[in-house]
Chain A
Amino acid sequence: MRVYHILPTLVYGDAVSNDARALNSALVAMGWHSKLYVARTVPRFLNSIAFPADAMPQTFPEDILIYHLSTGDALNERLIALPGHKLIIYHNITPPEFFAPYAPAAAALTAQGYEQVKALAAVAEYCLADSAYNAAELRRMGYTCPIDVVPILIPFDDYRRTPDAAVQKKYSDGRTNLLFVGRIAPNKRQEDVIRAFDCYKKTYDPTARLFLVGSYNVEDAYYITLRRYCKNLGVKDVIFPGHIRFEEILAYYAASHAFLCMSDHEGFCVPLVEAMCFGVPIVAKSTTAVGETMGGGGLLLPDNSPTLAAAALHRLLADAPLRAQLAAGQQQRLKDFSYQRVVAQFQESFAKFIAQAGLKP
């Protein structure tokens, strides 16, 4: 009996990739013979950390197939036909309607992804979901197997690296720095972050900066529209660092005074946890899994009103006792995502899955 741990793409700095690598290490530490198989990866990982899914050996009914589901991919359909006990880890898929106005190909891919998630319901024997929100979505899509909520496994040791000194020095100049981290994508609603920032700057602090940390493609219509929006609003000091090194991301967290999330769709939202890790107080719109991940830490907004977000940021930044209380709440919540705790949750769920499948470790 072998464990085949499969996902479409394994790259650096991606939450699903990090989760898969960390869980695979946990499986190996538990004594399982588990290998990662991927459709696409970076050369440095290929044939060392992960192996090509196309070259995966023949699987047998007693084998275990763990699959990370987060996008539309031919691998999703291939999984259906593979013999073996299937454990699906659902990270959510961004609904296609977010992409439709900007990137029809991405919309088509995620629409296909949702159809594939529904098709996989027939073969899934057990599921793990990053959040209760994701678990509920699986139920709505026809999953009747057991579903456990196990948060995404975050390699916190990486966050102890030294932040990039140049970035930290450049922006540690006494001005207020606001931050959002997440790829530049329509579901993240960076336009709402920009709008709230513009309002905050005009109403409370004209010297404030906004960091929109996240990778983008200069050709991407959403990114182009965001830049045009900044220009039309006449708002200055919106910084798009683009694809940067991990140490630079750490420096943006270290240099920031508040984290503002206006996202419309998150299956978990790792950057919220990263902000907690750096002690950056959070203001976030309560939507999808955002409130659940916040778990009482930070300020939750009911809608995308720029005046409300700006007022919340101002209050947070001006009220030290409030900041201290929220920071304490965020640190408390952070404990729920500790590596040891999440690994233990995963081990417990995996043991239940093994028992249900009638397998012996």
Chain B
Amino acid sequence: MEQEINIEQVMDEIRAAAAAAPEYQGGDAFAPGTPGGLQKLHIALRRVGRKVKAVFQKLAGKFVRVFVAMYLFAKNQLKDGKNVILDTATKTNDLTGYVHGEVERRLVALEEENAALRAELDALQNEKRAG
């Protein structure tokens, strides 16, 4: 029967190996980040009781479904005047004018709904304009 390995001794050896290993750099920079523009928009919508139903991101030139639906779904929903949010920071897609105008219109509507959001939404819009 093989002799049992002493785990305490193994841990001592692991500690020694860790001490002898090259110093690990760059591991300290973890801190809760501030939300991005899209996330701020979600938060703003939620505060005024709007349910976020779908989120899309443009990856490798295509809209990728993140939550619920697809590009066509989004387009139809927008046509129906429902609350679908698209990240308008992307300037190069074929929906730019259509979506951007829609989201801007909704932001204005939200401002009217809840004056307390105005500063936050202004900041969001400025951020988006700054690209």
Contact = CB atoms under 8 A, between A and B. Distances in A.
B22 to A, nearest CB: 6
Contact of A199 (B10, B27, B32): B27
Interface stretch (B11-19, B73-81, B113-121): B11-19
Interface residues of A, number: 33
B36 interface: yes
A106 B52 CA distance: 18
Interface stretch (B1-9, B95-103, B104-112, B122-130): B1-9
Contacts, number: 84
A311 B14 contact: yes
Nearest to A328: B4
Contact of B55 (A219, A221, A233, A322): A219
A232 B35 CA distance: 16
Interface string A295-337: 0000100000111101110110001011001000000000000
Interface in B11-40: 11, 13-15, 17-19, 21-24, 26-27, 29-33, 35-36, 39
A233 B39 CA distance: 23
Contacts of B39: 219, 221, 224
28 contacts: A191-B30, A195-B27, A202-B22, A202-B24, A203-B21, A218-B57, A218-B66, A218-B67, A219-B39, A221-B35, A224-B33, A228-B33, A229-B29, A229-B30, A233-B26, A299-B7, A299-B10, A305-B18, A307-B23, A307-B24, A308-B18, A311-B15, A312-B18, A314-B17, A315-B13, A315-B17, A321-B2, A322-B10
Contacts of B58: none
Contacts of B11: 299, 312
Interface residues on B, range: 20 to 34
A101 interface: yes
A102 interface: yes
A225 interface: yes
A262 B123 CA distance: 38
B32 A221 contact: yes
A218 B36 CA distance: 12
A198 interface: yes
